[in-house]
Amino acid sequence: MNNFKQFKHMFSAQLKLTFREKQAWFWGIFFPVILMVIFMSIFSGGSDNEFSANVAIVNENPNPTSDMLFQQISQIPVLESESNDVTREQAEELVKSQDVQAAIILPNSAESTSILLIVNKENEQGVTTQALSGMLNNFVQQANLYAVGAPPTYELQFESISSGHNELSYSDFLLTGMIALAIAQGGLFGMVDLVEMRRKGLIKRLRMTPANMNLFGLSDMVMRLLFSVVQIILLSLIGVFIFGANLYINFPSLLFVFLLGALSFNALGYFFSSICKTTEAYMGVANISNFFMMFLSGVFFPIETMPEWLQPISNVLPLTYFVEGLRESMVYSTSIFSSTLWFGVGVMVLWGVVTFFIGSWLYKSKAIVATR
């Protein structure tokens, strides 16, 4: 019973310290919410819509060939075209000012055999330009077959499948990434109070009392787990009810990934607190680590889209596997018995165990414990 009273008082003290620590609240709650709202507002609105492009079609010298091509191109459903009364000079100005995404110049005579596509130099390698180029290439090939009277033998059919549900979108992808980032930041930035306690000599004095240091660590860990529960609930509600994200949760898998992930990043924060003697140094180390993992761990974009030389770095970061684990358990409803899930969690836990033991060893060494 004495241990329970100790734990209760220590938990209450840890809770008060956390409520007073504005930096922990900002990095743990407000920053992920702000970041998620920004990214979802930018990307989720049009991510589920069909591709479309605004183009100017120039038919300055109407002839049978250009009229036929104009009619055919105008019927492509994803192209929103300007009037064919536009001159080439006007079309080029529209492209330069980015009022349209491209200009299509039709043949000047019935004998001409070329269609010219004009795009803005800044968007030459963009997705829309590549899509338009491929679309017109396919159109020209079909026109060539029609001109020589060759009937089409093969056709391309398209179907997309997912390991999750058909309603999956970028909102679902980003939401789970932001939840993982928020929980990770809670662990990385949440141990700043330990630095202050050590700097003021409070930990040293606490060791001299009958207080059970194991209960002290356990109370801190439980409090941060509750903090992470608040994060996951708040971000899920914002994602689902404001941005229309879809979640298909496997609760045993989610609990498994969440608990081990939160503990692992708490261990990382504990390690940072053991090597830093001031709050400024701690926040600097935590910020650098957070910034590095934020953009290399698949939070905002799939790792497969990154340069090949960066992907091996992403594959050793703990946040990569935490993001994947939450995505598997919250979006794809992956079973807890999945070998892929266990492998990712194993890498993440390895990070947590190693950093925890290094941090514990540093805290016990006299060079770190001594403050004056």
Q: What is the pLDDT of residues 164-199, one digit of tens each?
A: 555 567 788 888 988 998 888 888 887 777 777 777
Domain identity same for 130 and 227: no
Structure tokens at 276: 């830093």
Q: Give the integer Cα–Cα distance in Å for 181 and 58.
A: 49
Q: In the predicted model, is pLDDT for residue 16 greater than 60?
A: yes
Domain identity same for 96 and 179: no
Domain identity same for 68 and 37: no
Q: Which residues contact 321 (CB under 8 A, 6 or more apart)?
A: 344, 345, 347, 348
The residue segments making up the domain with residue 110 are 52-147
> What is the structure's pLDDT at 349?
93
Average pLDDT over residues 47-56: 65
**Does residue 152 lie in a domain region?**
no
Domain identity same for 33 and 131: no
Domain identity same for 352 and 334: yes
Domain identity same for 15 and 81: no
**Does residue 323 lie in a domain region?**
yes
Average pLDDT over residues 68-87: 73
Domain identity same for 325 and 187: yes
Phi, psi torsion values for 169, nearest 5 degrees:
-145, 180
Average pLDDT over residues 259-276: 89
> What is the structure's pLDDT at 22?
65
- The answer to whether the CB of 296 falls within 8 A of the CB of 313 is yes
Structural domain count of the chain: 2
Domain identity same for 92 and 211: no
Most confident of 45-59, 152-166, 182-196, 252-266: 252-266
**Does residue 325 lie in a domain region?**
yes
Q: Give the integer Cα–Cα distance in Å for 58 and 134.
A: 19
Q: Give the integer Cα–Cα distance in Å for 59 and 291.
A: 51
% of the chain exceeding 90 in pLDDT: 13
Q: In CATH, what number is assigned to the domain containing residue 101? A: 3.40.190
Q: Which residues of the chain form beta strands (DSSP E)?
A: 53-58, 79-81, 102-105, 116-118
Q: Give the integer Cα–Cα distance in Å for 327 and 245.
A: 13
Final residue before a domain boundary, out of 117, 147, 177 = 147
